A and B are shown apart, each in its own frame.
Chain A
Amino acid sequence: GAVVSQHPSRVICKSGTSVKIECRSLDFQATTMFWYRQFPKQSLMLMATSNEGSKATYEQGVEKDKFLINHASLTLSTLTVTSAHPEDSSFYICSARDRRGGANEQFFGPGTRLTVL
């Protein structure tokens, strides 16, 4: 149980294009999903917290118009990197918190490697 998927696992795009990454909780309902960014050999940095049916809360320094987050249902959140540039190249990881809460545990997706040429 508690499986989170991400799609795509890897994407290469040209500078200026937009890229959408999907995060799905496969066997549970997630009231809250989190989006992280990880640079090589560095830790995960929280970008935003996404609650179903409401606007995402972005961390300081994260451009909300650049990184659009939509949490349309209890099992799906999407991150769209708009007008991507090479500096947006990174490993993006989502996580989901089980609606039943309790242990404050987050379940992580396998990550999406974005390369912007």
Chain B
Amino acid sequence: AQSVAQPEDQVNVAEGNPLTVKCTYSVSGNPYLFWYVQYPNRGLQFLLKYITGDNLVKGSYGFEAEFNKSQTSFHLKKPSALVSDSALYFCAVTSGSGAGSYQLTFGKGTKLSVIP
């Protein structure tokens, strides 16, 4: 079975400071990792993904994430936070093979609050 852990329910950061939202995963086979953002009463918006290749992935709105195989982590980062980044962030994983491949498993979400 695959799983995702987002250890922080909430992250607070001052505007202009760097932010990190943590994610660790467990999956059989090669992991396909995703970050999504959700604003209130809205669906999920895709931020970035890791499939293969460079461990540092750059995505939308200045976000990036680093895949660390040995630590089974895929933390989301941004060098300088904006107030408009305040939202709910979900990490998700799937595997590229086997039963249930393509089915995403989500973490519980981390609420990011950027303080002006």
Contact = CB atoms under 8 A, between A and B. Distances in A.
Interface of A: 4, 6, 32, 34, 41-44, 46, 49, 91, 93, 95, 97, 103-111, 113
A43 B106 contact: yes
Contacts, number: 53
A50 B46 CA distance: 21
A97 B43 contact: no
Contacts of B106: 43-44
A43 B107 CA distance: 7
Interface residues of B, number: 23
B108 interface: yes
Interface of B: 32, 34, 36, 41-46, 49, 51, 90, 94, 96, 101-109
Given A34-B103, A46-B103, A46-B104, A105 B46 contact: yes
